[in-house]
């Protein structure tokens, strides 16, 4: 019994010692993962995050040319694809013709009637006045004959109607002459100016649509997907190329709350990858204000169940050599706090 009791006691002692050793070792490993190095330097882990652009035409049409293939390097402003532009040239010609029509109508209103038209209106007035004078004389004559019984009532009424019509004709001729002399109304001119502006806007829109038949590279980059081929019909905003941008190059990393006091936007860092010995220089450009659960892509296993804060690190353009690729795991070593040498819009 004593031997068995002694054995159980020894077993319990050995078990406690083993647990202590495991806990001590875990604590040491945890400290090493958080601190990174013996001198207390902060070491983080993350992945390269390169921006991609889905390039598309703003206009629908038939693709006539695809200039680049997958893996090709492109420069900003280079033409990458072309649509059949003939329908858009025709639309532009029609819009420009409408501009000319609207401008001609406006010029006509501004200049008013021609001198010949004014003269014609003046002569029309004289003619109406002569007819009115004759109609008045005839009415007066028929009036005297009717009083003396030598004219019928029907003839008298016809003379009076002719007189009234002639007087109205004189007033109409006067109004036409006044309008011809004064020109068109200001409201008509304003409306014509608006029609010219609308026609010019339509022509500008047609010009833009014609320019949109050529797809230009927005930045330097590498083609990672060629989605369409010549002859394809594409809708507006339908992806034609996928372009990976050369710059800027970002690194996405995470840190725990306890290490937030050791970093700040503008902090200088060194970035290393497993594929080369080169050390890239960068700066912390963004620290998320919101905590989140650590994604499973983070390499440090001890932090995977903790709440962390996302960082975005901007690699200096001078160090960008194309070796850092999308999703590549990297190690980030924090040097010290530094000023924000990278513009805010790039952070």
Is 33 a member of any domain?
A: no
Give pLDDT, residue 340.
43
Query: Do 79 and 176 belong together in one domain?
Result: no
Last residue of a domain, one of 227, 242, 257: 242
Is 29 a member of any domain?
A: no
**Residue linked to tokens 């090493």:** 32
Query: Do 106 and 176 belong together in one domain?
Result: yes
Is 174 a member of any domain?
A: yes
CA distance 48 to 336: 21
CA distance 251 to 231: 39
Instruction: Report whether pLDDT(62) > 70.
Output: yes
pLDDT digits (tens, 9 = 90+) for 176-210: 877 676 666 788 888 999 999 999 999 999 999 99
326 or 119, greater pLDDT? 326
Q: What are the residues facing 33 on neighbouring strands? A: none
294 or 70, greater pLDDT? 70
Percent of the chain with pLDDT over 70: 78
Query: Do 270 and 325 belong together in one domain?
Result: yes
Last residue of a domain, one of 184, 208, 232: 208
CA distance 218 to 53: 9
Is 332 a member of any domain?
A: yes
CA distance 215 to 230: 13
For position 235, which CATH number holds? 2.40.50.100
Last residue of a domain, one of 242, 257, 290: 242
Q: List the single range of 10-19, 138-147, 175-184, 297-306 with lowest mean pLDDT.
A: 10-19
Count of domains for the chain = 3
Query: Do 74 and 163 belong together in one domain?
Result: no
Give Cβ neighbours of residue 268 (< 8 Å, ≥ 6 apart): 281, 282, 283, 334, 335, 336, 338
Residue 246 binned pLDDT confidence (cut-offs 50, 70, 90): confident
Find the mean pLDDT for residues 226-234. 95
302 or 82, greater pLDDT? 82
CA distance 55 to 244: 11
Is 12 a member of any domain?
A: no
Domain extent for 66: 53-83+215-242
Answer whether 58's CB lies under 8 Å from 237's CB. Answer: yes
Grouping H, G, I as helix, E, B as strand and the rest as coil, residue 38 is coil
Give pLDDT, residue 336.
52
Cβ-in-10-Å burial (0-12, 13-18, 19+) of 262 comes to middle
Give pLDDT, residue 298.
55
Find the mean pLDDT for residues 42-49. 88
Is 30 a member of any domain?
A: no
Answer whether 90's CB lies under 8 Å from 110's CB. Answer: no
CA distance 43 to 193: 68
Helix or strand holding residue 269 (H, E): strand 268-273
Mean residue pLDDT of the chain comes to 80
CA distance 53 to 168: 75
CA distance 11 to 43: 41
Is 15 a member of any domain?
A: no
For 56, 94, 181, the CA distances from 205, given in Å and listed in that order, are 18, 12, 39
For position 256, which CATH number holds? 2.40.30.170
Is 77 a member of any domain?
A: yes
Residue 50 binned pLDDT confidence (cut-offs 50, 70, 90): confident
pTM greater than the 0.75 cutoff: no
Give pLDDT, residue 103.
95
CA distance 281 to 325: 16
Q: Which of 76, 124, 99 is nearest to 243 (CA)?
A: 76
Give pLDDT, residue 217.
96
Give pLDDT, residue 85.
96
pLDDT digits (tens, 9 = 90+) for 283-341: 888 888 887 775 655 555 555 556 788 888 898 887 777 788 888 899 998 865 444 44
């Amino acid at each position: 019994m004593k031997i068995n009791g002694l054995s159980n006691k020894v077993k319990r002692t050995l078990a406690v010692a083993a647990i202590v050793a495991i806990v001590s070792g875990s604590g040491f490993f945890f400290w090493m993962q958080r601190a990174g190095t013996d001198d207390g330097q902060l070491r983080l882990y993350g992945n390269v995050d390169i921006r991609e652009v889905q390039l598309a035409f703003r206009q629908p049409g038939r693709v006539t040319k695809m200039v680049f293939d997958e893996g090709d390097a492109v420069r900003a402003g280079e033409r990458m694809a072309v649509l059949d532009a003939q329908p858009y040239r025709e639309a532009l010609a029609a819009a420009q013709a409408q501009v000319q029509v609207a401008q001609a109508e406006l010029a006509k209103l501004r200049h008013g009637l021609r001198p010949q038209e004014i003269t014609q209106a003046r002569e029309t007035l004289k003619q109406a006045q002569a007819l009115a004078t004759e109609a008045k004389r005839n009415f007066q004559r028929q009036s005297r004959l009717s009083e003396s019984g030598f004219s019928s009532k029907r003839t008298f009424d016809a003379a009076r109607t002719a007189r009234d019509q002639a007087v109205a004709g004189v007033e109409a001729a006067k109004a036409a002459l006044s309008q011809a002399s004064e020109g068109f109304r200001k409201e008509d001119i304003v409306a014509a100016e608006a029609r010219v502006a609308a026609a010019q806007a339509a022509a500008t829109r047609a010009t833009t649509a014609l320019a949109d038949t050529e797809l230009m590279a927005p930045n330097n980059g590498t083609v990672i997907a060629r989605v369409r081929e010549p002859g394809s019909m594409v809708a507006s905003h339908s992806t034609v190329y996928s372009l990976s941008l050369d710059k800027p190059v970002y690194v996405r990393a995470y840190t725990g709350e306890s290490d937030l006091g050791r970093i700040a936007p503008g902090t200088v860092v060194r970035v290393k990858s497993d594929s080369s010995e080169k050390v890239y220089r960068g700066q912390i450009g963004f620290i998320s204000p919101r905590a989140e659960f650590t994604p499973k892509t983070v390499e440090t296993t001890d932090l995977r169940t903790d709440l962390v804060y996302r960082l975005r690190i901007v690699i200096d353009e001078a160090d960008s050599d194309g070796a850092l690729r999308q999703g590549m795991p990297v190690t980030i070593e924090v040097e010290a706090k530094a000023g924000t040498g990278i513009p805010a819009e790039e952070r």
